[in-house]
Amino acid sequence: MSDKHYATVAVTGVTGALGSRIAVRLADRGVPQLLVGRSPDRMPDLPGAQRRGPAGYGDASAMREALEGASTLILVSGHRTGRRLEEHATAVEAAIAVGVDRVLYVSLVGASPTATYLNARDQWLTEQFLAGAGIRHTVLRAGFYTSTPAALADKGFVVSGPASTGRAAFATHEDIADVITAVTLDERPRSEHDGAILEITGPEALTLHEAVTRIATATGRPYRFEPETLEQAFSRRWREGMSGEQIETWISWYQAIEKGEISSVTDVVPRLTGSPATPISDAAWWPSPNTARGTP
Ligand SMILES: NC(=O)c1ccc[n+]([C@@H]2O[C@H](COP(=O)([O-])OP(=O)(O)OC[C@H]3O[C@@H](n4cnc5c(N)ncnc54)[C@H](OP(=O)(O)O)[C@@H]3O)[C@@H](O)[C@H]2O)c1
């Protein structure tokens, strides 16, 4: 813990994988925090942190109450609902209303109105809203998580999808949390991060075959990748009981990899943290098979 006195930071998503890691890092640095979310009883117990809520992003008055007293808001993007832009916009407007003066928004690499991955489209919408909201902000685009291929595997450790030999620069939750922590702790009134879009990636772009083979070596489990055609990808997921929206979303994740939309490698992790980006084989956390959101 440092002797420096930091302004209060509100962190959302703290019942999840990324927000919880950010909150732990800020607590370690002695930053006073407001942990904001829908289920305060599931939030971590951290020194210097108050639990606030219940407050969902779309609940303007609950968000205003929860954010009261914060100087910076770290807004971890919420789950896909079809109204993600409206929910995020409500959260940002609540922050502005109670005097928050900086928003760090956790978006997604590849965010674009024409992104192949459907989740990257509404991330772009929030980025656009933020750019016009009149508040100091930084967009932190998280790379595709190293954990996702492991979570997508079936019970036999097979990851199947229409990604062919396309590549993605998978990033660990730890590196992403480290970068967000570094930006948060930079409290200079004018920082090069203001208005910036930082793309947080791993150190190399891997095919899914390479990524899954490395996960197998790291875990000692028999993960393997089996490429699918689009037709195979659809019919298997339909047989397994996925909804049309889930099928469309997951196929688009693999297709974004096939098209190389997630393949750029940036220097953001080493530049902001002073340490090299973590290779997938050194990731600290592997979720169990069949645990990706929206898998049957
Ligand atoms: N970069 C990638 O590869 C990737 C992959 C998957 C997801 N994502 C995005 O990145 C975000 C963070 O990732 P993660 O691994 O930490 O996901 P996670 O473990 O599912 O955590 C998501 C967190 O966001 C909170 N949340 C979701 N919708 C909310 C809403 N409407 N209002 C308030 N809180 C809400 C959840 O709260 P509850 O506990 O109340 O649900 C949870 O704390 C995800 O929510 C998603 O938008 C990125």
Q: Is there an atom of ligand 1 within 6 Å of 207 CB?
A: no
Place of tokens 């450790």: 157
Q: Where are the domains of the chain?
A: 9-143+171-201+265-275
Q: Which atom of ligand 1 is nearest to the CA of 56?
A: 32
Cβ-based burial of 93 (10 A; exposed 0-12, middle 13-18, buried ≥19): middle
- 13 CA distance to ligand 1 middle (Å): 6
Q: Which atom of ligand 1 is nearest to the CA of 109?
A: 1
Which residue lies with its CA nearest to atom 29 of ligand 1? 78
- 34 CA distance to ligand 1 middle (Å): 17
From 11, 14, 18, 86, mutation site for ligand 1 pocket: most ligand atoms within 8 A of C-beta:
18
- Per-10-residue mean pLDDT for the chain, 296 residues long? 83 98 98 98 98 98 98 97 96 98 98 97 97 98 98 97 98 98 92 95 98 98 98 96 95 98 98 98 95 77
pLDDT of residue 2: 59
Domain 9-143+171-201+265-275: state its class: alpha beta
How distant, in Å, are the alpha carbons of 87, 90, 175, 176, 187 from that of 57? 5, 6, 25, 22, 25
